[in-house]
Amino acid sequence: MNIEFLDAGCGDAIHIRFKGIDDKYHNIIIDGGIENGDVYPSRLKKKLEQVIENAEHIDLWIITHIDDDHIGGVLRLLKDTGILNALDLSKTKFWFNYSIWDYDTGIREDNLKSVRQGIRLREYLKKNSTVEAPITDALGTINLWGVALSILSPDEQHYAELLKKWEKEEQKIRQKDSSGLKRGGNNDYDIKIENFDITDQEEDKSEENASSIAFLLRFNDKTVLFTSDSNPSVLTKALAKLNDGKKVKVDYMQVPHHGSRYNINNALLELIDCGHYIICADGHNKSNLPNKASMVKILKANPGKEIHFYLTQSNNLTRNIFTVDIGHTIPVHFPHPGSIGLNFIL
């Protein structure tokens, strides 16, 4: 199995390719990065072209939730008729938790979370592909050609809350209410490891993020935890149930929500036995992701254990997260020069 976390800035775009028990190669895509910029043409499109060149198709495309940094690149694909026709998405099954509410929000000015985008994608996929919803933890473990996907998030409660959010935004449109921009502050990279307060357990309150599809992938004797932007309490509850409250051995874990300190907590980390953590972020974003606080939580949850971090983009910020920590050696890995993402072979 080959897993590539594409450099999608502060977004998710992941390609999984493996040979199944049917002796055929299969492709799974997770999200697609942002709609604007060059993420689609320079990264996601290249992976799709490889699928076409291999005379294969996308077996499963998982749309984790409706944030632009996850759904945007898929919308770019819908405009790229050459690639779109060659891919033939009628052969692709989509996991996509969409709402039945059909309206144009127009209320979000930051373009980061958009029900409008969700509607655009929903309408295309319903006409041209197979869409499965809802995808929640109630589905349990799904086996695909020798790969086991155990759905951890969302739970049915948070899925229902997402649907309520769509309805509320429709009501806001009628009342001409408008949401404001969220402002980011400075990053926390100049704070030393020993000066972080890891007792802060404040959680992300976003309904969109809490509705993220997250799952544990098992292939042969390897396990990878894909978390998207999911809520740490939901993940903790699901993992505890999956493994009877015991620690879950994970070879690689994607740190939720691009390394946001609001999406990872001590309770979640206590349930995970892992030494390799993947962060889909570039440091250059309004929320200053990844937050160093998240990485410190991971380090302090694993005393005496060598922890490796993998970041999807190397730049002046991400290369210097631990520069102030003289005396600490924290392995941080980046994509190889000339590559379009982090590549892992299981």
Instruction: For 167-200, write each residue's pLDDT tens digit.
Output: 666 455 334 433 333 344 689 999 999 999 988 8
- Residue 9 tokens read as 């800035």
Work out the angle between the directed axes of helices 68-79 and 115-128 (0-180°, nearest 10). 50
Q: pLDDT averaged over the chain?
A: 89
Question: What one-character-per-residue DSSP string does 209-259 give?
Answer: HHT--EEEEEETTEEEEE-TT--HHHHHHHHHHHTTTSPEE-SEEEPGGGG
pLDDT at 167: 66
CB atoms within 10 A of CB 295: 27
**What distance in Å separates the CA atoms of residue 10 and residue 167, rounded to the nearest whole number?**
28
State the pLDDT confidence band at 109, using cuts at 50, 70 and 90.
very low
Q: Residue 148 in contact with residue 217, Cβ under 8 Å?
A: yes
Question: Of 31-45, 87-101, 261-275, 298-312, where does mean pLDDT reach its minimum?
Answer: 87-101
Please give the torsion angle defined by the CA atoms of residues 121, 128, 340 and 279, in that order, rounded to the nearest 10 degrees. 50
Q: Side chain identity at 279, as an amino acid letter? A: I
- Burial tier of 138 (Cβ tally within 10 Å: 0-12, 13-18, 19+): exposed
**Residue 104 pLDDT class (50, 70, 90 cuts):** very low
Q: Residue 116: is its pLDDT beyond 80? A: no
Confidence of residue 147 (pLDDT cuts 50, 70, 90): very high
Question: CA of 270: how far to CAs of 182, 240, 262, 274, 336, in Å?
Answer: 31, 10, 16, 10, 31
At 192-211, the pLDDT tens digits run 999 999 888 899 988 889 89
Closest by CA to 1, choosing from 146, 216, 161, 173, is 146
Tell me which H or E stretch contains 96.
strand 93-96
Q: Where are the domains of the chain?
A: 2-339
Closest CA to 235 of 280, 272, 198: 272
Residue 120 has a pLDDT of 80
β-bridge partners, 180: none
Contacts by 194-198 with C-beta closer than 8 Å and gap 24+?
A: 196/292, 196/293, 196/296, 196/297, 198/266, 198/293, 198/296, 198/297, 198/300
Which CATH number does 2-339 carry?
3.60.15.10
Judged against a pLDDT cut of 70, whether residue 108 lies above it is answered with no
In angstroms, the Cα distances linking 75 to 34, 42, 70, 241, 254 are 9, 15, 10, 36, 24
Residue whose entry in the numeric block shows the structure tokens 């060598």: 306
